[in-house]
Amino acid sequence: GGSLALPFMRQTLRRKRDEEDPAGSKRLYSHPARAARTHKMTTKSSRTSGSDLMSGKAQAIENLAKEMTWWKTIHLKTRETVNFVSLTEDFGIRGFKYSDYENFETSNGERYSSFTHILFDDAQRRQENYFDGRKGAVVHYQEAHPEKQQSVAIGPAFDNEAAIGGTARPMPFKFFYVGKSPLYEALDHAKFLGVVSGPLGTCEKYEFDDAVFAKVKLKLHYYLDEKTSIPHRVDAYDASGVATSHPNFTWEAKAVEIIDGHPFVTASVETNYDHRSGGKEVLCTIDVETKEVRFNTAFQKGSFRPVIEPGAIVHDAFKKKTILPPREQAPTPTNDTAAIAVSPFDWTSYASY
């Protein structure tokens, strides 16, 4: 989700830091439409006073709820280009050069995403993720043959959201969430820090304590555009970052366009800091380009279930076992008969559903 490279990088750097200084060292998703209905009920409850309803926070919640629930589908394609500053020595040619993301989801909670990481040695790492409302599947492809499936993991969640405790969506869309909760829902519990200058104009600044981001509890500062309330900047601090006032990372919008009458961030940058230097030095920056975003597009039946290819190993969390693919009998070659390709297996062929 978002940049999958950075959690791996941070874990590697954390291990390096610990080696150098040992002493220093079931809700699957939040359904936007359902959450909107929940929010309408909670704003009428006793915990929200009349003065709060007239506050800037209440207006921000209303704006965000509108921006996150007006569509029935969203189809997003982005590219993240990594600009290394001090990471090259740690990762060399196995570092990520850029990543292409595709994210498609419906207001009913059905989701699909894919990403392809291009490494500095031009190798590819490809993955697809599916969720049909009941079951999820993660499809890994072979690095040597990125067109061929290597394994399929079937479980109750989308992508790695159950493990990381947050949303697995690409930037900038992932910043419309705090953990797994839509931003307009989470904002009810945020602390208002005042009106400040943001990267593209005046913003309202909010603080979230103990938000989970890639398995790490962070303090998040959100800068919401004063007029539209969409995120224009996010600062993330872990415990050491709070103590030194140096963030783990900062994300900033660079351009916003109106698409189908609604604002959407089309260019942004994430800056990641090196906590081996106390957060003073930049590890890398990630330029995020929104290549395409479309709303309310049609989709085919079965778009949110994988087609499992012959040869892929299936790990089924529901059956609690690993299922090897059926054996294939090689056709006998003849002078006048070509080898017959085996048809792909569908979701139900040898995985449980």
Q: For the chain, give the percent of residues with pLDDT over 70.
A: 72
Looking at residue 32, what is its pLDDT? Answer: 45
Looking at residue 27, what is its pLDDT? Answer: 29
Residue 87's φ and ψ, nearest 5 degrees, are: -95, -15
Comparing CA positions, the residue from 72, 67, 157 lying closest to residue 107 is 72
| Cβ(285)–Cβ(270) below 8 Å | yes
The region of weakest confidence among 32-41, 226-235, 268-277 is 32-41
Dist. CA 310–CA 349, nearest whole Å? 10
The region of weakest confidence among 96-105, 133-142, 206-215, 298-307 is 206-215
Token duo for residue 161: 């959201």
- Say which residue the tokens 């850029």 belong to: 98
Q: Give me the amino acid identity at 222.
A: Y
pLDDT exceeds cutoff 70 at 120: yes
State the DSSP H helix or E strand holding residue 105, giving kind and residue range, or none if neither: strand 96-106
- Alpha carbon distances (Å) from 198 to 64, 225, 237, 248, 270: 18, 8, 18, 19, 15
Dist. CA 58–CA 47, nearest whole Å? 13
The region of weakest confidence among 81-95, 114-128, 328-342 is 328-342
- pLDDT confidence band for 88 (50 / 70 / 90): low
- Can you state the angle between helices 32-43 and 56-69, rounded to 10 degrees? 150
- Alpha carbon distances (Å) from 164 to 29, 63, 217, 221, 222: 12, 28, 10, 20, 20
Dist. CA 118–CA 19, nearest whole Å? 29
Comparing CA positions, the residue from 35, 52, 2 lying closest to residue 184 is 35
| Cβ(184)–Cβ(61) below 8 Å | yes
Secondary structure class of 267 (helix, strand, coil): strand
Comparing CA positions, the residue from 170, 144, 140 lying closest to residue 312 is 140
Q: What is the mean pLDDT of the chain?
A: 79
Per residue in 159-181, pLDDT tens?
999 888 889 999 999 999 998 89
Cβ partners under 8 Å of residue 87, min gap 6: 9, 95, 283, 284
HSE-CB at 136 with a 13 A cutoff on CA atoms is 18
- pLDDT confidence band for 90 (50 / 70 / 90): low
Token duo for residue 65: 């709820």
pLDDT exceeds cutoff 70 at 343: no
* Mean pLDDT value of segment 58-63: 96
